[in-house]
Amino acid sequence: MIGSAVAAVQLSRFVAAEVHRPEERGRAISMVVLGGTVGAIAGPLLAGPMANLAARAGVDELAGPYGATLLLFGLSAAVIFLWLRPEPRELARQIGGPAQQSAAASGPGRPIREILRQRPALVAVLAMVFGQLTMAMLMIITPLYMRSHQHPLTHISFVISAHVVGMYLFSVVSGRLADRWGRGPVIATGAGILTLAALSAPLSPDLIPITVALFLVGLGWNFCYVGGSSLLADQLSPAERGRTQGFNDLLIGLSSAAGGLGSGIVFAAVGYATMGVVAAGTALILLSLTVWSRVGRRVPSPSLP
C-alpha cells in the first residue's frame, strides 16, 4: 500500500510539467524532484525519535515510524485535496491553447503502443527505465559489498546519504540544462555519468572512492530521470498523459525490481566487479540509443495539427 501511494506521488512531476510551457518543463520537474531531498533527509531523522516515542507508549517501536508515515501521507492528501486549485488538468489545456484543447476533445488519444513507436517518446521512456535499472543494480548491492569488506554501518549510511544527495540535490541544475541544452543532451550526459560511476565503483573498497562512485550514480540517474520525464511530457496530448505516464512509471518500478534481484544474483555468482561491468553496459546501451536518436531540444507534439 505504501508503494501504491508512492507511485501516485511520483506522478506529480508530470503534473508540474503539464502546467508549464515546454521551455519551462525541465525546471518544473526538477523542483518536484528536488522536494525529494527534504523527505530523504527528514525521513530517516524522524525514524529514531518516532520509534522511541512508540516504545515509551508501550507499543512496538516500529509502530512509531509507520505512524509518522501515516500522518505525513494524510497531511499531504489534505493539502492536495483542499488547496490544489484550479485543477492542473484544466490549466494544462489552457496553456496548450486551442490546438491542445481540440486534441483533448477529439477522442481518447493514441494507444500507448503507437506513442512508443515515436522515437522521442521511446527514448524518454527508456531513459528513465535504463537509468533506474542501472541505479538499482549498484545502489542495492553496494551496502552488502561494503559489509563484506568490514565497513561499519556508519560508513554504509554515509555512502547511501551521498548517493541520495546525488539523486535529488542537483535537480535544479539538470532541469535548467534540460530547458537550455535540450532533453537529449541531458539524457546522454546522465548515461555517460552512470557509465563512469559503474566502472569506477569496483576499483577500490575504500570509503571515499565508493562514496564518489555512488554519488555519481545518483547524479546520473537524476539527469536521466529529469531529462526523460521532460521529454515524455513534450510528446503527449492531454488525453494521453495519465495512462502513458502511469505505464511509464510501471516500467520504472519493474526495472527497479529487476535490478535489485539481478544485482544479487550477479554479485553472488561472479562478484561486485562484474556487477559494475553489467551496470556500465546497461548505461552504455542508453547512451548509444540517445546519441543515435538525436533527440533535439523541442519536438512538436504529435497531437497538434
Cell numbers linked to 4: 501504491
Position 298 scores a pLDDT of: 46
At 19, is the secondary structure helix, strand, or coil?
Answer: coil
Calculate ∠ Cα 12-129-192, nearest 5°.
110
CA quadruple 181, 185, 191, 194: dihedral, nearest 10 = -30
Q: What is the mean pLDDT of each run of 10 residues along the chain (305 residues)?
A: 83 89 90 82 78 90 89 91 88 65 60 93 96 95 93 87 89 91 94 97 95 96 95 89 92 93 92 94 93 60 36
**Which position has the grid cell 529514531?**
48
What CATH architecture applies to the domain 2-293? Up-down Bundle (1.20)
Position 100 scores a pLDDT of: 52
DSSP codes, 42-102: HHHHHHHHHHHHHHHTTS-TTHHHHHHHHHHHHHHHHHHHHH--S-HHHHHHHHHHHHHHH
Q: Distance between alpha carbon 125 and the CA centroid of its chain, in Å? A: 11
Q: Where are the domains of the chain?
A: 2-293
CB contact at 8 A, 214 and 139? yes
Cell numbers linked to 135: 541505479
Position 299 scores a pLDDT of: 42
Beta-carbon contacts of residue 236 (< 8 Å; ≥ 6 apart) = 109, 115, 121, 244, 245, 301, 303
Position 295 scores a pLDDT of: 58
Beta-carbon contacts of residue 162 (< 8 Å; ≥ 6 apart) = 211, 212, 214, 215, 218
Burial letters 233-260, b for 16+ CB under 10 A, else e: bbbbbbbbbeebbeebbeebbebbeebe
The DSSP call for residue 303 is: T
- Measured CA to CA, the distance from residue 284 to residue 104 in angstroms comes to 37
